[in-house]
Amino acid sequence: MIQVTSSKGVTLIELMVVIAIAAILAVVAAPSFNQYLANTRLRTVQSQLLSDLNFARSEAIKRNTRALICVRNAAGTDCGGTMSWNAGWLVCVDDNGDGACDASTAAIPNPSKVQAPLNGALTLTSAAAVIRFNANGSQGAGGTAALTLSASGAATRTFSIAPSGGISK
């Protein structure tokens, strides 16, 4: 008489079916995950930019002088003079009103904040390379300024800085 024993484990066919199902689920989930990553990157930079705009305005009021948020130069030490906000930005004090960061002192380190260049998936644009806040926190004669942040596959966010200095998104 032949004795039949049961074996434990899975067959190669069962394993291949499970792998095929996992691959199909991964292909279906990948676009959603890419959208999630794009939105997360956008929200992170949006938060940082809003924080830096408010910081620049508060520095102008606190120090009773002009503060700038501007496109940074390659070294991250001064305003870059270009319109490419993707290079990052910085916040600094402009006490003499020449549109550039003043020299750093022990009392006023300049620049106060430096933002690294943006990830290639994000784009930040503006019609101005420098946003100024006067000692009273207003834009003054500078008028309304706007920054537009966008990411491929995600919504666009626009920040408006009113002549009064109010920041809205």
**Total number of domains in the chain:** 1
Percent of the chain clearing pLDDT 70 (strictly above): 94
Residue 142 in domain? yes
Cis amide linkage into residue 109, ω under 30° from 0: no
Residue 108 in domain? yes
Residue 161 in domain? yes
No. of H helices and E strands in the chain? 1, 8
pLDDT tens digits, one per residue of 101-136: 888 777 777 888 888 888 777 888 888 888 889 889
Residue 126 in domain? yes
CATH of the domain at 70: 3.55.40.10
pTM: 0.76
Residue 91 in domain? yes
DSSP letters of 98-151?
SSSPPPP-SSS-SSSEEPPPPPTTEEEEES-SEEEE-TTS--GGG--EEEEEEE
Q: Which domain covers residue 71, as residue numbers?
A: 13-168
pLDDT tens digits, one per residue of 55-101: 999 999 998 989 988 888 887 777 877 778 888 899 999 888 887 88
| 32 against 158, higher pLDDT | 158
Residue 50 in domain? yes
